[in-house]
């Protein structure tokens, strides 16, 4: 099927639309085309730091106007998961505002004494005392959840540790394995399709990482597009036992007449 005929688009952000605070080539034209053709779309990110409103404001600063309803983060998916398991539960959170807000919005409370969950996401406020306290809570019965399984992420300064690296000391010290919500967990993909009101046959996922975006699409049976504007290089593809359905230089190539 021609990519442009798809009705729903799940699109990663960093490495696809922008890198840090730099807009990538073709991104403006791609988003304009999505709006013009009245496509259903979500920017789907494993990051849990920022809320949809903050992500919308970031894109606006880069020159692209997108409503906050068009963003779905691993924080939102994590909040949906824990609230479905224990409605009105509580959590001890090592993470930033986007994660805390998502949990409050589903009726969770913050609890550093006897929480139902210890939840870890990306954060710069990471310290020995908080990790030690999280370890004690997990040993006393709190369930351990990570917003995504990424080991590293990009930043303006270069590679930084992401959720899986941050949660590792808790896993090692307690002997408990965390449950990770974000890509490639099909759970976040099903939630995103539900938000869009779309079937998987109508959708396509666009990303720059073979180990999260592309495998997430494959495991969810959603058509995949790898763009080479981010992490994965063309020569890297042969190192994986699976392949994307399409390989493009960037999202601008999706717009008819721009290939």
User: CA 8, CA 99: separation in Å to the nearest integer?
Assistant: 26
Query: From the candidates 2, 14, 69, 105, which is the catalytic residue?
Result: 14
User: CA 113, CA 190: separation in Å to the nearest integer?
Assistant: 33
C-alpha separations of 216 from 14, 37, 59, 225 in Å: 16, 26, 24, 11
Beta strands in the chain (DSSP E): 8-11, 18-19, 22-23, 40-45, 71-73, 90-94, 109-110, 117-120, 143-146, 152-155, 158-161, 179-180, 203-207, 223-227, 246-248
**Distance spanning both ends of the chain, measured CA to CA:** 16
C-alpha separations of 17 from 21, 108, 123, 169, 184 in Å: 10, 32, 22, 33, 19
120 close to 167: Cβ distance less than 8 angstroms: yes
14 close to 154: Cβ distance less than 8 angstroms: yes
Q: Catalytic residue at 69?
A: no
Q: What is the DSSP letter of 211?
A: I
Q: Catalytic residue at 14?
A: yes
Q: 3-class DSSP state for residue 138?
A: helix
Query: From the candidates 2, 12, 96, 150, which is the catalytic residue?
Result: 12
Active site residues: 12, 14
């Amino acid at each position: 099927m021609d990519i442009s005929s798809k009705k729903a688009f799940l699109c990663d952000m960093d490495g696809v639309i922008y890198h840090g605070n730099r807009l990538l080539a073709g991104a403006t034209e791609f988003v304009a085309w999505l709006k013009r053709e009245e496509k259903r779309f979500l920017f789907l990110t494993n990051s849990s730091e920022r809320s949809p409103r903050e992500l919308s404001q970031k894109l606006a600063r880069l020159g692209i106007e997108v409503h906050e309803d068009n963003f779905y983060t691993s924080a939102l998916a994590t909040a949906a998961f824990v609230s479905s398991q224990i409605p009105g539960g509580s959590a001890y959170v090592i993470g930033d505002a986007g994660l805390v807000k998502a949990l409050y919005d589903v009726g969770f409370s913050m609890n550093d004494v006897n929480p139902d969950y210890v939840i870890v996401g990306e954060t710069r406020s990471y310290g020995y005392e908080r990790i030690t306290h999280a370890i004690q809570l997990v040993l006393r019965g709190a369930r351990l959840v990570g917003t995504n399984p990424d080991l590293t992420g990009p930043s303006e300064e270069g590679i930084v540790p992401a959720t899986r690296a941050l949660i590792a000391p808790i896993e090692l010290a307690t002997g408990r394995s965390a449950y990770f919500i974000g890509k490639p967990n099909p759970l976040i993909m099903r939630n995103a399709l539900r938000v869009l009101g779309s079937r998987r046959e109508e959708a396509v996922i666009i990303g720059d990482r073979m180990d999260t975006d592309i495998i997430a699409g494959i495991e969810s049976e959603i058509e995949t597009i790898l763009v080479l504007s981010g992490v994965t290089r063309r020569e890297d593809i042969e190192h994986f036992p699976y392949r994307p359905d399409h390989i493009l230089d960037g999202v601008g190539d999706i717009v008819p007449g721009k290939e």
